[in-house]
Structure 1
């Protein structure tokens, strides 16, 4: 697939483009996510503090109304004061209890009721000023209740304690109305890290660990004092937790934001970035393929010309265009120069071939003349050879005759010798 230069160049360009787009998308995602989370922390933290401030103002308002009951102590007809305060503050009860155990309530109390023995009375005396009681079970209604109390008279020895009661349902409804986001919720802790208000009513007065084992009062107190957020899992859902102190009370207001909901815009951005990256890569494939093919088109022309020449039937008068100053133009110029050199060499070869042809013709003519003379010499040699054969035959015959004469001479000599012997 990547055997050709064109394919490799296209692949490299697409890879670089893809990696660049991915890096850009990731950088954008992480920057936007960081900015989004920072902005979210700031916004939700501010909202939490605003709601905590509203709760503080609500407590102050209830406490001011409770303080106004001091004027009822010593009045001949104090009940109208109590009823007015109860209505003004939307309390469930308003009252005061004197140090001599006499009491006046907006509604009748059982005979023998001793308010001075109640924890809220003792807390007011000990505080020496306005106080907010922890939640407790009201003796009259049996409901969870908080009381706003304040002593009347000298510190440590008050003549009475005025108070107002409010069922915890009222506080819970107020806290449950806090929804900075669709799936968010709020809860309220008392001074002992117990839940005063929560969307689940069955968690009232239970420790905060009932929401999540990783939660504790120290963590929420730190968030309330230092700001920031804590990431916790509540009921299997990732939550971003913010907290703020309710001034003038031991309460801590906490707001939980569903992390998936809060970061949905970031995930939407990531999906858009992925889609844009894919589209850009697809577009880059087409553009890079077109651009590289167009730029390398002249290289294909050079290749075709070289193949034409290599085939042996090439046109050596062909020249490539040399417009421009890029590498392909340099290759075209080098090709033209190469063809010029080849053409010059072939011209010289043709001229040398003609010289060789003429020399060959002359050599052929000389060879033919030499061949004629050689044939004549061969004929003379053949005649000489025949004469030599005849001479050789004559010599051989002479030699035979000489042998016969020699034999006859020898025989004559023997006969003469034998005759001499006979004669002697």
Structure 2
């Protein structure tokens, strides 16, 4: 998956962008969350303070009314004052308890005989505190409703005249507290002393311990929250987390608590987080699309370079192909470098192709020349065999002449006939010697041709060595073959020189024999003219015939040696031909390897034809010789 450079760049870039967006979203979220927490705390405190202020005003109004009734109840019509207090303050009933244990009520309620107001909680609390008090909520025995009692002491001349009390139904207050609902799942409650619930949305919890709501709502925790403004406590209520703010109610020991649902309070933050994640996904998707398209276009040059290199590496590369060089970036630089590399390889392979073609042509010429030389060597060997047979005939003729000369010494009476026969024999000897001289001349020409062949073979081997050196590693086999050919050519040239020396010696002696035969012919003519000199002439013929026999024996030895050298030359020519065939095969393999690449043709060669390659010879550049044995 990550083998592609484009994919790695795309993934790394997307990872960096995603990381940056996540970090930015995290910082933004934390910043907004901090402000949101502060804002929620302020909002929560504001809600609690506002509603607490309303409750405080309600309590203060009842307290003021009760305290305002102190003077009227001291007059002659305390009942009227109590009735006015009850009606104006919305009290369920008002009453006045006196130190003598009597009780006056606004509604005419007559207490039982055992009822003593001085023992009631409201009376005791008001007298002990000597101030207006608000009693704990309780259920009124007559109405069955939750009420609280406001009580204030009445003094006259410094002495206690009585205690005014008024029962107030707190249903509306409870409804007001239950109506505090900042969010659908939030609620408010009213407690006394951080211990007892006065108001709660769940009516069954009224007058129940505060810890019924949450174990964390201890008196100490409620007191701490009440002493700190805009502070809140995270509590679990009914399995849901709430943010609790508590505000004390002035003039009472009540506390108004507002429990804000944390999930609903942080809904905006959750929305911000979700929108940030959605924005992250959208930005990543758009970035991946745009960056992918840009990288695809940018890396198209690299992909073309890769495809071109794979094409070349597969052995079917087109070296005439060039990559477009657009722009000045690294991809354009790679394309330019690739074009320069391919151009250089193209020129090198052109040279290799031309060199392999030249080697192939030279090897073909060497092979053809070797085959022609082999045929000519075989012909020379056949001529040498014929020459050997002729020399045997000459030897037989000379022996016969010697025998005739010996018989001529004893048969002088038939000298004339023998002289004629001798003249005929001498004529034949002259013709034979002339044939020997012609054969020797032909052998000399053949040896000259062999020497030229050896020289041209050596020169071709030298050219093959030069071409093999240019071919480099591929031409090492050619260089070895060319060295062996040069050695064989040198040996052939040396043998040809030896053969030529022997043939020159044989020619000289044959010339000498021919001269002697001519002299013998002249002698035979003299014998015909003068029989009396037959004996002397025959003696000279016998001596000359002996020398001829020795010379012919040497010629036979030289011809045998020439035949052996010719056979060796034929074997060397076969080896040279085989080496040339191998060189041709190697040249064909090199040409086949180069043919695996597509190359353009040389314009100069197409327009002007191939120029002959030059080789160094005797310190000067000369055209490479071409073999032609036709």
TM score, norm. by length of structure 2 = 0.56
Please give the per-residue CA displacement for 1:220-250, whole angstroms capped at 9, x wherever unaligned.
Answer: 2211112422222222232221111112211
Counterpart position of 1:174: 176
State the match for 2:52 in structure 1: 52
Partner of 1:215: 217
- The whole-number CA distance in structure 2 between the counterparts of 1:186 and 1:312 is 87
Partner of 2:280: 277
Aligned to 2:160: 158
- The size of the alignment, in residue pairs, is 390
Distance 1:210 1:382, change over 3 A: same
Task: Give the corresponding residue for 2:462.
Answer: none
> 2 CA distance for matches of 1:283 and 1:293?
15
What displacement does 1:328 show? 0.3
- Residue 375 of structure 1: CA displacement? 1.8
Query: What is the deviation of 1:217?
Result: 1.8
Tell me which residue corresponds to 1:121.
123
1:341 matched to 2:361: no
Range moving further from structure 2, 221-230 or 343-352: 343-352
Match of 1:367 among 354, 367, 370: 370
Change (3 A) 1:381 1:57: farther
Aligned residue for 2:148, secondary structure, equals: strand
Cα distance in 2 for partners of 1:101, 1:289 equals 97
Q: Per the alignment, do residues 73 and 290 of structure 1 end up closer, same or farther by CA in structure 2, a change over 3 Å counting?
A: same
| Alpha-carbon displacement from aligned partner over 1:158-205 (angstroms, at most 9, x marks no partner) | 222122211243432232222222222111111261111112222222
How much has 1:216 moved relative to structure 2?
Answer: 1.6
Paired residue secondary structure (1:145): strand
- The answer (yes or no) to whether the contact 1:125–1:157 under 8 Å persists in 2 is no
Structure 1 pair 307/201, CA: closer, same or farther in 2 (3 Å)? closer
Contact 1:56 1:246 in 2 (8 A): yes
Q: 1:293 aligns with which of 296, 300, 321?
A: 296
How far did residue 295 of structure 1 move? 0.8
> What is the Cα deviation at residue 384 of structure 1?
8.7
Deviates more, 1:377-386 or 1:329-338: 377-386
Q: Which residue of 2 aligns with 1:63?
A: 63
Q: After the TM superposition, which residues 189-338 of structure 1 pair with which residues of structure 2 at under 5 Å, given as runs?
A: 189-191=191-193, 193-227=195-229, 228-310=231-313, 314-338=317-341
Whole-angstrom CA distance in 2 between matches of 1:24 and 1:245: 42
Query: In 2 relative to 1, CA 187–174 (structure 1 residues): closer, same or farther, beyond 3 Å?
Result: same
Contact in 2 for aligned 1:95/1:104 (Cα 8 Å): yes
The offset of 1:55, in angstroms, is: 1.5
Worse-superposed segment, 45-54 or 164-173:
164-173
The secondary structure found in structure 2 opposite 1:158 is strand
Residues 102 and 120 (structure 1), Cα distance of their counterparts in 2 relative to 1, 3 Å cut:
same
Alpha-carbon distance in 1 for matches of 2:165, 2:210: 28
Distance in 2 separating the partners of 1:20 and 1:388? 112
SS in 1 for 2:184: coil
Cα 1:90/1:122, change in 2 over 3 Å: same
Q: Is the 8 A contact 2:94 2:167 kept in 1?
A: yes
Post-superposition CA distance 1:388-411 (Å, at most 9, x none): 99xxxxxxxxxxxxxxxxxxxxxx
Whole-Å separation in 2 of the counterparts to 1:214 and 1:304: 73
Inter-partner Cα distance in structure 2 for 1:351 and 1:137: 122
Structure 1 residues 94 and 384, CA, compared in 2 at 3 Å: closer, same or farther? Answer: farther
RMSD (Å), alpha carbons: 3.2
Q: Is the 2:86–2:166 Cα contact (8 Å) retained in structure 1?
A: yes
SS at match of 1:159: strand
CA distance in 1, matches of 2:245, 2:235: 11
Offset from partner CA, 1:2-55 (integer Å, 9 cap, x none) = 443333333333444444444444444444344323321221122112212221
Instruction: Work out whether 1:8 is the aligned partner of 2:8.
Output: yes
Gaps of 5+ in 1: 390-424
* Aligned mates of 2:201, 2:370 — CA distance in 1: 126
Alignment of 1:87-98 (within 5 A): 87-98=87-98
SS of the aligned residue for 1:73 comes to helix
CA offsets 1:117-168 (integer angstroms, 9 cap, x no match) = 2111111111112222222444654544211111122798422212221124
Q: Secondary structure at the match of 1:231?
A: strand
Deviation at 1:385, TM superposition (A): 9.1
* Aligned-pair CA distance for 1:64: 0.7
Pick closer, same or farther for the CA change 1:383–1:262 going to 2, 3 Å.
same
The runs of 5 or more residues in structure 2 that have no matched partner are 393-630
C-alpha separation between the residues in 2 aligned to 1:122 and 1:388?
178
Cα distance in structure 1, aligned partners of 2:180 and 2:89 = 21
TM-superposed CA distance for 1:106, in Å, is 1.0
TM-score, scaled relative to structure 1: 0.81
More helix by share: 2
Q: Are the equivalent residues in 1 in contact too, given 2:73–2:82 (CA < 8 A)?
A: no
Shift of residue 381, structure 1, vs aligned partner = 6.3
CA contact (8 A) 1:125 1:156 kept: no
Larger-Rg structure: 2
Which deviates further from its counterpart, 84-93 or 14-23? Answer: 14-23
Query: What SS does structure 1 have at the residue aligned with 2:236?
Result: strand
